[in-house]
Chain A
Amino acid sequence: MLKLRPALTIGLAAAFVTFLFGGWSIVVIGLLAGAMTGLNYGQRSLKRTPREIGQEAIVPGLVAAGMVVLGGVVFSYVVTPAVGKPLAYSLFLKFGKTAVRMDYFFVLMISIVAGVLLGALASWYMASIQGLPEHTRRARLIIVLVVFLLIFPFFEQITNMQWMAAVITVQIFILLALGLNIVVGYAGLLDLGYAAFFAIGAYTAGLLNSPQIDISWNFWLVIWIAAAVGSVAGLALGAPTLRLRGDYLAIVTLGFGEIVPVVFRNLITVTLREPITRICFVGCDPVKEVRNACLYACTGPLDLTAGEKGINPIGRPLIPFTPENLFGANYLPWYFLILVLILFSIFLIRRMHQSRIGRAWMAIREDELAASQMGIDPVKTKLMAFAMGATFSGFAGAFYGSYISAIFPGVFDFSVSVIVLCMVILGGLGNMVGVIIGGILIMGTDRLFLPQMATLLKGFMTATVLPNVSHPALRDFLTFSLDPIQFRLMLFGLVLVIMMIVRPEGLVPSAERRAELHAGDEAAGAPPLEAEVAAH
């Protein structure tokens, strides 16, 4: 008996995307939904050959992709007219500078067929490779993933989906979440000031590669310096605070996260004077700084960070033998650069996680006292976690500064720390796959769905609802008060609370975490056989 519930759930979630975007997104989302379904069904049957597993997943894959397609059709024939847009908007292919306008119905047909076929195919393939031996399975998964990640941006460019800016932001936040995962997920230290390290990385890169204080070092050097400065900042914060217990540590890091943007906002008149020479004895006016030895910026105070105006412009990366404006308005080089950074970070973090220090982090998380009895130095281990987390944040900050080309102190406020925390918690503490999925969900919602939803809602209001509402107060309420963008932070709050109550281990939990949170709760634990097979 085939269970279709997971496929229906995945399909529904994915159909929500095509319901909002329609058009070419049907192809991408159909493929992704199929792949997810395949992964889901493939895991559920371990005693058959890969071929059989794959065949069993075709129908669920078709179901999921079918729902995605349905969402796209609804978008075309219900949503689009309801928001008062013509049916043919923004559907053209773009090859370089030439754009080819296409018939709307034709595009819809192509994307429906491609979506369903790709969905079924992906489901079949993903399910079938689940039956392979572990190392082949992993290799195949990685190949599939890399192929998708390589093809997607070109597809996006040609079909003019306008997703790239959001995708790169999602990638930056994934890098941040990977770093925070070390601190919160592996070492179990709640860091609420993580945005501070992001800011430190960005400002380091900004100062060293901009006209602000007239230094323009190469991006490829600056990004390493930013990472190093980030890790030093992590050590500096960690050293005095790591004796504190969980919630006190959280508050102190929160305070740190609040101070750092204030510092960057206010370092606009910097002068350093030696204090002892300024001590004034009887007979001199202390207000008029009588004698002082000026050490730095003596001719006039130095504007280090430009306050609210921010540092602008920050230099872009240059690659030898390529055009100088390679990293210009085009998104593709940025996409691949951050992708490489993420892959590099995943590689490093994986190695660390499996090494002595990674095991020490988890030991500290589980039981600090027992770990220290086993010869693990808790202070050193925690400091290492803070420093490593901050390093990746520094990376992300340097990339962010160069990508946006301007940084402002207001960007790095508490909500950034909470969003990153939200990503880690939604995906699953301590599991990199989970963290990446959580990142895609959270930031994808924030940067893609909500803006699109706001646009559609606005169109829906003006085109469909408002003509039928005459009461002035109600009209004002409908047009002004219901704005999904404005309440985006509420979404993150809801995610945090609901996840903590319903599923504290996250969507894709790590095995240890699941066992720990559901100790004695047999229904949720994996059956022994499956766990054993999965371990091999």
Chain B
Amino acid sequence: MRIGQRVLLASVGIYLLLFFGPLAGFDLFRVIGEIANKPSTLLQQLLIGLANGSLLALIALGYTLVYGIIELVNFAHGDVYMLGAFMSLTVIGAFNVDKGSSPAIKATAIVVAFLSAVVFTAGVNALIERVAYRRLRNAPRLAVLISAIGMSFIVQNVGLFWGSLRAFFPIMGVNSAAPKAFPDLIGRIDVFKDILHIDVPIAFNTKDLLVIVMASVLMIGLRLFVQYTKLGKAMRATAENRDAAKIMGIDVDRVISFTFLLGGALAGAAGLLVGLYNNTAVFTMGFTAGLRAFTAAVVGGIGNITGAMLGGMLIGILAAFSDQYFSSRWTNAWVFAVLVMVMVFRPTGLLGESVGQKA
């Protein structure tokens, strides 16, 4: 009986999706046809999805770390990532490098930009926690959430103000709100064709490689850090039970601050990487990316580090697919639709059940 109902419900749902989906670009028959006609595009989109997804995963980690430890959706996190992009843009602008500069200068600029962006965003994130969240630690949860929304608006407008400082940073361009051109320092050299000399139908260039490698290194590093260091253990303990952790002599406030530092650092790295990958930065990028990354964290199971990585990849691939096969105008709607579906039908996410992994 119950199974019958479920089957009925599912088939009605699928029928409605097929019926109304084409309005939002989801025309299954056309999509299948396109995939069948040119399967290499599918692989190419998978690759783009992986690159974008690893960036999303870096941001999602910040959400998931903070949610794991104080059960707060840190709305401002996406905007901290935007500040990371702006910081690295400013540093690269100060080096005055562009596409044609010598590789040594480019590399120095990137390294300095990376370090400054990471330090800066880590500091900003910890500062946000100190100013807007710490005093509300025992307040109702909605109070902290509202404070976080407010913080997100503040940070976003700091970005807007920063973008208007063309008088001091010429790289910010003429218009304060318009997207900024991020210098293309990596170049687009095809790894398979030009370096390995293998003939494959998909393009995999140095930018994709850099993003995927960097993101993987950072994520694996974080995973190991949380698993094996003393501070990581303290983080896990605090996430598990704050009061018990306190009794055991863990300085909970310090651990929480450190978690924010860590999340902010990852966001800053993502900010630099996305600037190098997309060659553009705009002050609203944090909001969209933040929502996508939050969706990724929820899909993977919020509070779960591996889940955030997995969710980031999945959402990245979904977005790439939607851009290619559905309609790029509807991509955000599809991502949010997934968010709503996961929240409603499986709020714990894909990997969210094992509480022991929560960090």
Those of B153-177 within 8 Å (CB) of chain A: 153-158, 160-161, 164-168, 176-177
B29 located at the interface, meaning its Cβ lies under 8 Å from any Cβ of chain A in the complex: yes
Chain B interface category by residue count: 35 or more
Give Cα distance in the complex from A243 to B34, angstroms.
39
Q: At the interface, yes or no: A246 with Cβ under 8 Å from chain B?
A: yes
Given A247-B145, A256-B340, A489-B157, answer yes or no on A497-B150 (Cβ-Cβ < 8 Å): yes
| Nearest CB in chain A to that of B162: its residue | A481
Chain A residues with CB below 8 A from B144, complex form: 500
**Residue ID in chain A nearest B298 by CB atoms:** A251
Q: Check if B333 is an interface residue, CB within 8 A of chain A.
A: yes
Q: Is A496 an interface residue (CB 8 A)?
A: yes
For B198, list chain A residues within 8 Å (CB): none
* Distance in Å: Cβ of A520 to nearest Cβ of chain B: 12
* Cross-chain contact A262 with B330 (CB below 8 angstroms): yes
**Minimum CB–CB distance for A424 against chain B, Å:** 10
Known contacts A247-B73, A255-B291; is-contact A481 B340 (Cβ 8 Å): no
Looking at the complex, which of B41-49, B135-143, B187-195 is the stretch in contact with chain A? B135-143
Question: Is there an interface contact between A259 and B329, defined as CB atoms closer than 8 Å?
Answer: no
B344 with A496: CB separation less than 8 A: no
Q: What residues of A have a CB within 8 angstroms of the CB of B157 in the complex?
A: 487, 489-490, 493
The answer to whether A270 has its CB under 8 Å from any CB of chain B is: yes
Known: A244-B347, A481-B161, A492-B153. A287 touches B30 (CB 8 A): yes
Asked if B166 contacts A476 (CB within 8 A), the reply is yes
Query: Of B29, B168, B329, which contacts A262 at CB under 8 A?
Result: B329
B336 within 8 A of A: yes
A527 to chain B, nearest CB (A): 25
Q: Name the residue on A nearest B131 (C-beta).
A: A497
Whole-angstrom distance between the alpha carbons of A279 and B298 in the complex?
A: 34
Convert A243-271 into 0s and 1s, putting 1 for each residue whose CB lies closer than 8 angstroms to a CB of B. 11011101110111011001101110011
Tell yes or no: A321 within 8 A of B by CB: no
**B interface footprint on A459-490 (CB within 8 Å = 1, 0 otherwise):** 00000000000001111110011010011011
A483 to B176, CA, bound (A): 11
Are B153 and A259 closer than 8 Å at their CB atoms? Answer: no
A139 → chain B, closest Cβ, in Å? 37
Q: What is the minimal beta-carbon distance from A24 to any residue of chain B, in angstroms?
A: 33
Contact of B141 among A240, A247, A285 (CB under 8 A): A247
Contacts of B36 in A (CB 8 A): 286
Contact: A414 with B150, CB < 8 Å? Answer: no
Once bound together, how far apart are the Cα atoms of A487 and B153, in whole Å? 10
Known: A190-B146, A241-B343, A266-B329. A275 touches B18 (CB 8 A): yes
**Per-position 1/0 for A410-428, Cβ under 8 A of B:** 0000110010010001000
Contact A258 B332 (CB under 8 A): yes
User: A259-B336, A266-B330, A273-B22 known; A190 and B154 CB under 8 Å?
Assistant: no
Least distance between B287 CB and chain A CB atoms (Å): 7
Q: How near does chain B come to A362, taking the closest CB pair, in angstroms? A: 15
Interface residues of B in 1-60 (CB under 8 A from A): 15, 18-20, 22-24, 28-30, 32-34, 36-37
B150 and A492: CB pair below 8 A? yes
CA gap between A293 and B295 in the complex, in Å = 36
In the bound complex, how far is the Cα of B136 from the Cα of A425, in angstroms? 16
**Which chain B positions have C-beta within 8 A of A243?**
344
- The reply to whether A496 and B150 form a contact with Cβ atoms under 8 Å apart is yes
> B116 at interface (Cβ–Cβ under 8 A)?
no
Please pick, from A265, A287, A497, A517, the residue contacting B33 in the complex, using a CB distance under 8 A.
A287
Find out whether the CB atom of A272 lies under 8 angstroms from the CB atom of B344: no
Q: CB-CB < 8 A to A473: which residues of B? A: 167-168
Q: Is the beta-carbon distance between A504 and B151 smaller than 8 angstroms?
A: no
Number of interface residues of A (CB under 8 A): 65
Considering the complex, give the chain A residue whose CB is closest to the CB of B302. A248
In the complex, what residues of A have CB within 8 A of residue B72's CB?
247
> Which A residues are CB-close (under 8 A) to B147?
496-497, 500-501
Residues of A within 8 A of B330 (CB): 262, 266
Q: Contact check, B156 vs A489: say whether CB atoms are below 8 A apart.
A: yes
> By the criterion CB–CB under 8 Å, are B336 and A267 in contact?
no
A481 CB contacts on chain B under 8 angstroms: 161, 164-167, 176
Asked if B117 is at the interface (CB within 8 A of a chain A CB), the reply is no
Closest to B329 in A: A266
Assess whether A274 is interfacial by the CB under 8 Å rule: yes
Q: Could you tell me if B29 and A486 are in contact, using CB atoms closer than 8 angstroms?
A: no
- A486 to B160 Cα, complex, angstroms: 8
Distance in Å from the Cβ of A505 to the closest Cβ of chain B? 10
B167 and A504 contact, CB distance less than 8 A: no
CB of A192 within 8 Å of the partner chain: yes
Question: What are the residues of chain B within 8 A of A267 when measuring CB–CB?
Answer: 23
Q: Which of B's residues lie within 8 Å of A, judged by CB?
A: 15, 18-20, 22-24, 28-30, 32-34, 36-37, 71-73, 131-132, 135-136, 139-147, 149-158, 160-161, 164-168, 176-177, 287, 291, 294-295, 298, 327, 329-330, 332-333, 336-337, 339-340, 343-344, 347
Which 3 residue pairs of A and B lie closest in terms of their CB atoms, listed nearest first?
A496-B150, A493-B153, A490-B157
8 of the cross-chain contacts (CB-CB < 8 Å) are: A241-B343, A250-B142, A256-B336, A259-B332, A487-B160, A489-B153, A493-B149, A497-B147
User: Given A262-B329, A477-B168, list of 9 further CB < 8 A pairs?
Assistant: A251-B343, A255-B340, A266-B330, A418-B149, A486-B164, A486-B177, A490-B157, A500-B147, A501-B147
